[in-house]
C-alpha cells in the first residue's frame, strides 16, 4: 500500500517570500500525485497533479511542484506568497488505475505581512 | 464547474442518534467518496462507491455505512453516533482515476 509523509506540519512565512512544502511518498509501483489546498472553512481544491510526462508541474495561483522518482518526492513551491495563500495544503497519491487517494497529514501555511 | 454539495455545514447530535450525511454531485461522476478529516491525521477514506448500489470499504469503515441509490447522491450513515465520531466529514466525486472534487464539508459534533 502507498503512504504519504508531509515533512512539515506548520510553515510560517512572510508575504512575498518563497515557500516550499515537502512531500514524500512510498510505493513499490508507479503512482499519480496531487496537491490540494483547503482555505479556512472550505472543502479541498486541486492545486496541481502529476500523471505522466514532464516532472515539473505548474498549477493554479503560481504554484508548481517537481516529481522526483529517485527520491520519491513531490515538493510544492511558490516563489512569492500572498496573505491569501494562508491555508492547509495536502499531498495525495494514488496508484495507477485506482480510484482511491491516500493523503498526507497536511501542512498549515500561515503568511504574515 | 463541478459542484459537490453537502446537506449541512454544521450538525450537532447526541450519542446514540442515527445520523445521515447527504452528498450530491452534478457532473455525472461515477465515483463518490466519504472522508473524515481530523487535525494531524489528514483525510481518511471511510467508504467509496464506483457505481449505483456499489460500495467498498475504505480505511476506517467501522461505525459507518453508506447508501447510493442514485448516481448523483451518496449518503453516509452513522447508525449510532458516538463522541469519537465528532469530526469534519468531506464528500468527493470523480470521473475515473482523475481529480477528485470536494464538497464544503460537514462539521459534526456528537455530544
pLDDT digits (tens, 9 = 90+) for B50-86: 999 899 999 999 999 999 999 999 999 999 999 999 9
On chain B, the residues whose CB falls within 8 A of the CB of A105 are 40-42
- Sign of the CA dihedral running A37, B70, B30, A94: positive
Sequential pLDDT tens for chain A (113 residues): 678 999 999 999 999 999 999 999 998 888 999 999 999 988 999 999 999 888 999 999 999 999 999 999 999 999 999 999 999 999 999 988 788 899 999 999 999 99
Rounded to 5°, angle at Cα A90 from B108 and A48: 125
Picking from B44, B92, B97, B105 by the largest number of A CB atoms within 10 A of its own CB, the best residue to mutate is: B97
- Give the distance from CA B42 to its chain's centroid: 15
- What length is written for chain A? 113
In chain A, whose CA is at the least distance from the CA of B46? Answer: A100
- Record: contact A106-B92, CB cut-off 8 A: no
Strand B100-102 relative to strand B87-94, pairing = antiparallel
- Record: contact B102-A45, CB cut-off 8 A: yes
- What length is written for chain B? 111
Query: What pLDDT, on the 0 to 100 scale, is given for residue B59?
Result: 92
Q: How far apart are the first and last CA of chain B?
A: 37
Q: Which of A42, A97, A105 sits opposite B42 (nearest CB)?
A: A105
Write out the DSSP string of B4-18: EEES-SEEEE-TT--
pLDDT mean over B75-100? 93
Residues B34-55 as b or e (16 or more Cβ within 10 Å = b)? bbbbeeeebbbbbbbbeeeeeb
Amino acid at each position: 500500500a502507498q503512504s504519504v509523509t508531509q515533512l512539515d506540519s506548520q510553515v510560517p512565512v512572510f508575504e512575498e517570500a518563497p515557500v516550499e512544502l515537502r512531500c514524500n511518498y512510498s510505493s513499490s509501483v508507479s503512482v499519480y500525485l496531487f496537491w490540494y489546498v483547503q482555505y479556512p472553512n472550505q472543502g479541498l481544491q486541486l492545486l496541481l497533479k502529476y500523471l505522466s510526462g514532464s516532472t515539473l508541474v505548474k498549477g493554479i495561483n503560481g504554484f508548481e511542484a517537481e516529481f522526483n522518482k529517485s527520491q520519491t518526492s513531490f515538493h510544492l513551491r511558490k516563489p512569492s506568497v500572498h496573505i491569501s495563500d494562508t491555508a492547509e495544503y495536502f499531498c495525495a497519491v494514488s496508484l495507477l488505475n485506482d480510484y482511491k487517494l491516500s493523503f498526507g497529514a497536511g501542512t498549515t501555511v500561515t503568511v504574515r505581512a | 464547474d463541478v459542484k459537490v454539495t453537502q446537506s449541512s455545514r454544521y450538525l450537532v447530535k447526541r450519542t446514540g442518534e442515527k445520523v445521515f450525511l447527504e452528498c450530491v454531485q452534478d457532473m455525472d461522476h461515477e465515483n463518490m467518496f466519504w472522508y473524515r478529516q481530523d487535525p494531524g491525521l489528514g483525510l481518511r477514506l471511510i467508504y467509496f462507491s464506483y457505481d449505483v448500489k456499489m460500495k467498498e470499504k475504505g480505511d476506517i469503515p467501522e461505525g459507518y455505512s453508506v447508501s447510493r441509490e442514485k448516481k448523483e447522491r451518496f449518503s453516509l450513515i452513522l447508525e449510532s453516533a458516538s463522541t469519537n465520531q465528532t469530526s469534519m466529514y468531506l464528500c468527493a466525486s470523480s470521473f475515473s482515476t482523475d481529480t477528485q472534487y470536494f464538497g464544503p464539508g460537514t462539521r459534526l459534533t456528537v455530544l
